[in-house]
Amino acid sequence: MNHLRHRLAPLLLAGILCSAACRGAATAETPLAAINGPAYLGVLYFDSGRGAFIVTVLPDSPAERAGVEQGDTILRVNGQYIGDGPALRRQIDRLRPGDRMEIMGRRANGREYTLHAVLEPRPPDTDFEERRLMGSRP
């Protein structure tokens, strides 16, 4: 298991939480720092060669609420083909907290689906979670 963690670490690191730098205006409900911060989907993935293979769906994340599951492969986001993990990241980089994302994917059983997620500001505790998942110390 430890060997697998170290082999997947660089791939997972590239896709940790699918975050992106964003811009926008604050509202009474959302602090300026959150609006201007990165968007957050809440998945860890690696390249499958034909999409972004979902290794982990983080609890209480937009991805979990939308119905994304561990073992899914994301194939399209907002109509754009996702050939690999970096393509997923680039699509999310174009979005900001509050934006709606259409996700087309395939379950491990081969069934294809379309889901919708509303991206959120990246939670402040996710940096620690990333280090824990990657096996490094805070």
Confidence of residue 49 (pLDDT cuts 50, 70, 90): confident
Between CA 71 and CA 73 the distance in angstroms is 7
Helices (H), 18-81: 32-36, 62-66
Between CA 133 and CA 128 the distance in angstroms is 9
Going along the chain from its start, the domains and CATH numbers come out as 2-134 (2.30.42.10)
What is the model's pLDDT at position 75?
A: 97
Question: Within 13 Å of residue 86, how many CA atoms lie on the same side as its CB?
Answer: 1
pTM confidence score: 0.69
Instruction: Look up tokens 């997947």; give the residue.
Output: 8
